[in-house]
Every structure is written in structure tokens, then in C-alpha cells.
Structure 1
């Protein structure tokens, strides 16, 4: 039994790369609900193994990072045929994991309502012919199924104000608490945050999914910044195309271990965050090492970056605007110690666990009615 005295299952969407959503599920399974089973819709074994010892894949193990999008219209009906789960569900959801049904409460920790069917027209156009046609043909049906799944939840939780607004707009939900995701950070070195004189260059970190992450925009911007260097830490389906067209001042280091990524954060002058993310965990992680952020002034960055204090915003996703913001950030003298202290206070794992435990204990037992 869990600390709440109830039987819990943690449900998670697709897990082919270990990213921010996977970190949330890992913390949930290891520290929040250590007795819970973890159900992943599909994923890579090496990734799902990191989500907890009680993890299982629900759908076919033949689903891969290359083919799982082709079944997009079928997932609501596939999940509707699954046995009802005994007890309560805590869904860590950005796609379909909140569709699963249970005999108890269903609480959805929402990274975002499924972007591809609600808000991400640009991403849909770049996702390949088959997924694009499927969304054009079945988008209305998928949205209707998503609304039904949302209405069966007793409680929604948002990761950021941007996600909270989407939940309100798409699902008509009100009274949605905001609990930012946890940061799994080591203690700072006894010598403290790296000083400005010890830092060099720009950093981008994340999974390479275009055009969502706007890495191609950043790489193109580097052509007009020949005196600066950019380190790209991450991997993903669109990395080969970006590498093939990158200028010489862009260095690709692949997907790094946490230790190596933290080293990159601590060495960088500035982290560049050019996308409109739901939350944007790399922007917060970088700040935990005292690194300021140049961020697109929309989405989750509005919750985590304060203009002129721990970073700078640029207002349009163009080479000219991004280049100007980078130039201004590189000229500034930043208070690295203050940047690190504030984010470590506001985004620690202990804070996340405390807020989630309070929510699980207090969440209503009656079904939500829109």
C-alpha cells in the first residue's frame, strides 16, 4: 500500500527517450508512490527500466520510436479495451495515458493536453505523411475521445501556467493546481557556482524534435555569430538533418549522462531555449548551476525566466531576434550565485513531493462533472 493508504498505478505515455516526462514518472515511482505499479503504453526497454522495478509495457513491444505514431488514431480504442485497473491511477500524461480507467480515483499530472491534436499544427505538418493524414482524417474523433478521457478524471494538475490555460481552454476544467515538475540535482561543488571568467560559449540541451524545439533556428542563427560557439547536448529523430547543415561553430555531443550534462550547464555562459515548451526543464536545470537563459517569451519559460534577472526573452522566432538576444546576454554580467540559489529553492524534488502528497491526500473521491 502507498503512503496514502490506497492502491495506486502510475500510468505513463510513450517512453523511447529519457526526458523531462520520464524524470517525473521516475520520481513518482521511486519517492512518491514506491509501492505503485507503473504502466507505460510503449517504449524502449532501456528507458522504461529506469522508471521503476514494477514497470510494464501495456501495448505491443513491437512498437518503436519509428513506428508508434502510425497507430495514433487507434490508441483511444486500444486503451478502451484494456481491463479496468483496480484502485487509483496517477497519470503522468502528455498524450494518452489518462485514457486508462480505474475503479478508484484518477488524477492526471498533465505535461500538456496532447499537442498534436489540440495546438501543434506546425508539428503535425512535419511529422510525416502517414501521421499527418491520420490527424487530418481523425483529428475530430481524437479530440472527442480525449475530452471523454479528461472528463473521467477526478483532478487535473498543471506543470506551468501555459499548460493550466490549455487545460481550462480545451477541457473546460477549473480549479487546476499548478505543481512544477521536480529537478533531480546534485549538491553544488563546495567552491560554489562557476564564475563568469570560467564560462564559455552557448549551450542547448534536449531531445531533437523539429520544428517543436527550434534547434534548426538556433543552428542557423550561429552562422551569423561566428565568434561564438554552441554545444548541442541531445539526440532525437531530426538530429542527422540538423548536423548535416550546421556551421563549424556548432559542436554536437549527443545524449549525455546527468553528470556530464551538469558539467556542460556549469561551463556555459548562456543556455539558449528557443522553443515554446510546456515547461522546459533544461532551462531550470541550467539556472540551478547559475547559468542564465535566452528564452522565447512564450509558454513555460514565462514561469521560470525573469527578463533581466536570470535571462533574457526574445519575442519572435527569427534569426534576427534570437541573434540580438544572444548578443545582449553575452555582454551582461550575471549574478550566477543568485540565479542558482533561487531556482534550487523553488524547484527541488522535496517541494514537488510535498505538494503532490498533499494533493493525493486531499483529492476528491467523487467523479468530476464538467
Structure 2
């Protein structure tokens, strides 16, 4: 079967790109499509140095790095891809990839990382964070997102089978599209980390500084606690969050992978306050033997075992996080690095590939029978 793999944009190597990497490992002869591709040569290994077939957005002014500003044109752009030569279409979707046009004699399987966050359940948080919730710009943004929701809802019917990256996302897929989704957890490169038993006296945060990640909540909590906290990451909220912090909090900005691994393997615990779709860093922390202190909603409840690999705090508030850290500090629980590592290994790439291959092959067999 001739296969096409569709991803929204190829500009970095993050969680959704790791899924694309494993899909291409399963189907190395597949052709790759993306709205834009601005990967530096050093990162192209995960797509096997394939030439991605891009859309007209690739050539628009300032598309690199401001391609997101062309969001209103992305539905049109994704529909321009000619997939008529392919038998199997696999889309990796967190925005518009599932909107590609296919025929009845083509099988379209969508691995969905999330329904479009900024158009659906996190619209208000994104608009407030970008200061687009009022005025003429706010009105126009609301109008664009309204159009995007209508288009996004209609494109759910273009997918034959959905695969969600967590049960939390599967529930959101049902809520948004009234479509069922099979759950296959995303691949996590656990072998990057060693489960160190000797932990140092600092807590650790690795995150983008965007509103829904709630790094500000963590900073406020550690301002109260006075405990040492190291923060790696950057983003639009960086300046505001840094201005809040007291001297016990250290910001390192963006760091290379070797530095991230080092801090993850040495920290006393990893702290996370977002309601995440899955949360790859939560699994990475456990792979490094670091207990997790995380908000008990979303993907965290599916990868963190409360009181065994971490502590889940019940409310997304400063008070709730402070109480969780105090409980951790009390020594009431003993977190075994080897047990944390064992839990993390359930999310290793080989498990992802095996489950994804079995799912696709089963659906392909049934599809072919129906076409006979």
C-alpha cells in the first residue's frame, strides 16, 4: 500500500514530531506532507532526511518563523495537497492535518494529539494570554476561531479512524466531534535517562512559558515555600513569570538536551501544573528516577501513579500545589527510582510502534475486505 504521512508543520523536534518519527520508522517508504518545513539540517534525521511536500504557505513572507500568523489560511492550504495516488493516509493532528481530502477508496487514520486547543476548550486562556480578548483585533480573532471551529468539526467526517494519545484526549474527541478514538500512548525516549537514586535538593520545571502550562502558578507556590527551584524553558510568558520570582528560583532559559537530562536526573522532584493532553515530560522524569508532583487532571492521571511514582494535587491553585510539596517534603512516601523507571518503560517507542502497527494493519485488512 502506498502511504502518505501528514503533519501540520515541521519546525522543531518535540512531542508530536516524535510520533511522526515512529510512523516513518514503521512506513519508511511513505511520502511526507507538511504545511511548512523549516527544520535545520541537524534535526532532519527524525524524518529520515525525506523531502517534505509543503503547501503554498512555505513561500509566504516571513513564514519562517511566523507561519502561525497564517492560521486563517491553513484549512485552505491543507486541502490543496494532492493525495490521489495513496492507499493509506496517516495524519498527525493537533491543528488542521486531519482536514486533508481523501476518496472513499482511501483509508485515512488520524493520530490526534488534541482537538485544536486554541479554538475549543482553551480559547479564552489563549486569547487572554495573547491580549486578543477585546477590541477590534479581539473581534476579528474570535471570528477566525469561529470559522475554524466550523471547519474543524466538518473535517472529523474525513477520518475513518481516530487514535488518541490518551484517554483524556479521547474524551475530548468524543465531546468535540462525537467520534470514538482508540488510545495509543505516544512514544517516549526513556533510554535518554538513567534512574539515579542520589537526588539533590532542588525541584525542577521543564516547560514552555505559555498560559495553559501554568508556570506562573509553580513560581507563586515556590515563592511561598522558599525551596530551591530550577526552571528550564522559554516562551511568551517568560518575562512576566520571571518578574514574579524570588531569589530561590533560578531560570536557565532554553537549554540543550544534555543539560535537560542532567537536571532531570539530579532533581529532588519534577513539578508540573498544566492539565496536559498526555505530558511526555512526566514520563521522562520517571525514567530519570525523579518523582513527579503534578496537577491531577488530564494525561498526568494516566502516567503518574499517585503516591507510588509521584503526588497528584487536586486543584490547579497555588494552595493545592503548596500542600502537595509539603506532603512530599514530609517524607511520608518513599519513591523507588527503579519502580519509577519501570513505570516509564511502558511508554517506550517499541511499545508505540507495535500497537500502532497492529491497529493500522487490522483496519487495513477490514478496509480491503469492504472494498472487495
- Normalising by structure 1, we get a TM-score of 0.88
The answer (yes or no) to whether the contact 2:12–2:39 under 8 Å persists in 1 is no
State how 1:171-210 maps to structure 2 within 5 Å.
171-174=177-180, 176-186=181-191, 193-196=195-198, 198-209=199-210
- Distance in structure 2 (CA, Å) of the matches to 1:270 and 1:86: 50
Question: How far did 1:336 drift?
Answer: 1.7
Change (3 A) 1:65 1:133: farther
The answer (yes or no) to whether the contact 2:193–2:261 under 8 Å persists in 1 is no
SS at match of 1:224: helix
- Deviations, residues 111-142 of structure 1 (Å, cap 9, x unaligned): 00111111102123223438744441133322
Match of 1:354 in 2: 354
Match of 1:96 in 2: 96
Question: How far did 1:96 drift?
Answer: 0.7
- Deviations, residues 189-245 of structure 1 (Å, cap 9, x unaligned): 5xxx3224x332111113222x1100111112221122x211112232332332343
Equivalent residue for 1:24, pick from 19, 26, 29: 19
Q: Does 1:140 align with 2:141?
A: no
Match of 1:257 in 2: 256
Question: How far did 1:342 drift?
Answer: 2.0
SS at match of 1:302: helix
- Distance in structure 1 (CA, Å) of the matches to 2:130 and 2:89: 30
State how 1:54-69 maps to structure 2 within 5 Å.
54-56=50-52, 57-58=54-55, 59-61=57-59, 62-64=61-63, 67-69=66-68
The answer (yes or no) to whether the contact 1:216–1:242 under 8 Å persists in 2 is yes
Q: CA RMSD for the aligned pairs?
A: 2.4
Question: How far did 1:288 drift?
Answer: 1.0
The answer (yes or no) to whether the contact 1:92–1:111 under 8 Å persists in 2 is yes
- Distance in structure 1 (CA, Å) of the matches to 2:284 and 2:274: 16
Q: Does 1:268 align with 2:267?
A: yes
Change (3 A) 1:109 1:215: same
- Distance in structure 1 (CA, Å) of the matches to 2:299 and 2:326: 23
Match of 1:307 in 2: 306
Change (3 A) 1:358 1:65: same
- Distance in structure 2 (CA, Å) of the matches to 1:161 and 1:69: 28
Change (3 A) 1:15 1:326: farther
Question: How far did 1:311 drift?
Answer: 0.9
Q: Does 1:11 align with 2:6?
A: yes
The answer (yes or no) to whether the contact 1:9–1:36 under 8 Å persists in 2 is yes
Match of 1:3 in 2: none
The answer (yes or no) to whether the contact 1:205–1:233 under 8 Å persists in 2 is yes
- Distance in structure 2 (CA, Å) of the matches to 1:234 and 1:50: 23
Query: Which stretch of structure 1 is more off in the superposition, 241-250 or 95-104?
Result: 241-250
State how 1:1-370 maps to structure 2 within 5 Å.
6-29=1-24, 31-46=25-40, 49-52=44-47, 53-56=49-52, 57-58=54-55, 59-61=57-59, 62-64=61-63, 67-87=66-86, 88-103=88-103, 104-120=106-122, 121-129=124-132, 132-174=138-180, 176-186=181-191, 193-196=195-198, 198-209=199-210, 211-226=211-226, 228-332=227-331, 333-344=334-345, 346-363=346-363, 364-365=366-367
The answer (yes or no) to whether the contact 1:40–1:55 under 8 Å persists in 2 is no
Question: How far did 1:278 drift?
Answer: 0.4
User: Which structure has more helix as a fraction of its residues?
Assistant: 2
The answer (yes or no) to whether the contact 1:117–1:135 under 8 Å persists in 2 is no
Change (3 A) 1:177 1:36: same
- Distance in structure 2 (CA, Å) of the matches to 1:73 and 1:20: 24
SS at match of 2:213: coil
SS at match of 1:186: helix
The answer (yes or no) to whether the contact 2:35–2:77 under 8 Å persists in 1 is no
SS at match of 1:177: strand
- Distance in structure 2 (CA, Å) of the matches to 1:307 and 1:91: 33
Unaligned stretches of 5+ in structure 2? none
The answer (yes or no) to whether the contact 2:231–2:249 under 8 Å persists in 1 is yes
